[in-house]
């Protein structure tokens, strides 16, 4: 119940809920762009083998980014540290896919990719705010420093970091 009250405004959770709402809006825009690109690029699949490779690659990229976006939308409200890590990783992957689509001039969506990329970078920055890190830390444990969260993006931490630990008074 604590997590739900934080998410919906209790105990300083209004910032958390605002960040999650902004992230969900950003992911929705990304999803609309991916679906628009999917339909536009699927209409371009015709002709010989070499003419089909580009649009077919774009269709696969759009399917992959759509799946990443939907997974991120479902994981984002979760208060697990692992969900935070996978959400930030997927947002970084969405930025890379957006840059690749613009680099190879494969963006057929009416939505501006630069706008969505800047929003996604903003959401990644917001995921590092202290309120979001506190939300994704187990109850009755300390919030790890920022360096821990940066390392967690690259290296999967030990399972002990995600569990509660009861330390006897003699060992403190």
d(CA 106, CA 2): 45
Enter the tokens of residue 158.
């030990």
Query: Greater confidence, 110 or 129?
Result: 129
For residue 1, what pLDDT is reported?
44
Closest by alpha carbon to 119, among 97, 95, 89, 87?
Answer: 95
Verdict on whether the full-model pTM lies above 0.85: no
Tell me: pLDDT of 8 over 60.
Answer: no
d(CA 161, CA 144): 10
d(CA 125, CA 143): 17
DSSP states along 95-122:
HHHHHHHHHTT----SS-HHHHHHHHHH
CA neighbours within 13 Å on the CB side: how many for 102? 14
Write the pLDDT tens digit of every residue in 113-158. Answer: 788 888 889 989 988 988 888 888 877 778 888 888 888 888 876 6
d(CA 62, CA 75): 20
């Amino acid at each position: 119940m604590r997590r739900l009250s934080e998410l919906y405004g209790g105990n300083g959770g209004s910032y958390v809920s605002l960040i999650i709402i902004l992230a969900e809006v950003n992911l929705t825009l990304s999803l609309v762009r991916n679906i628009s690109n999917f339909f536009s690029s699927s209409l371009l699949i015709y002709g010989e083998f070499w003419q089909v490779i580009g649009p077919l690659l774009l269709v696969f990229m759009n399917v992959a980014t759509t799946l990443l976006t939907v997974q991120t939308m479902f994981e984002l409200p979760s208060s697990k540290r692992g969900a935070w890590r996978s959400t930030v990783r997927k947002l970084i992957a969405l930025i890379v896919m957006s840059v690749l689509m613009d680099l190879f001039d494969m963006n057929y969506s009416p939505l501006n990719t630069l706008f969505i990329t800047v929003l996604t970078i903003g959401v990644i920055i917001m995921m590092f705010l202290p309120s979001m890190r506190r939300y994704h830390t187990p109850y009755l444990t300390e919030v790890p420093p920022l360096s821990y969260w940066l390392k967690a993006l690259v290296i999967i931490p030990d399972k002990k970091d995600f569990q509660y630990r009861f330390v006897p008074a003699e060992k403190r």
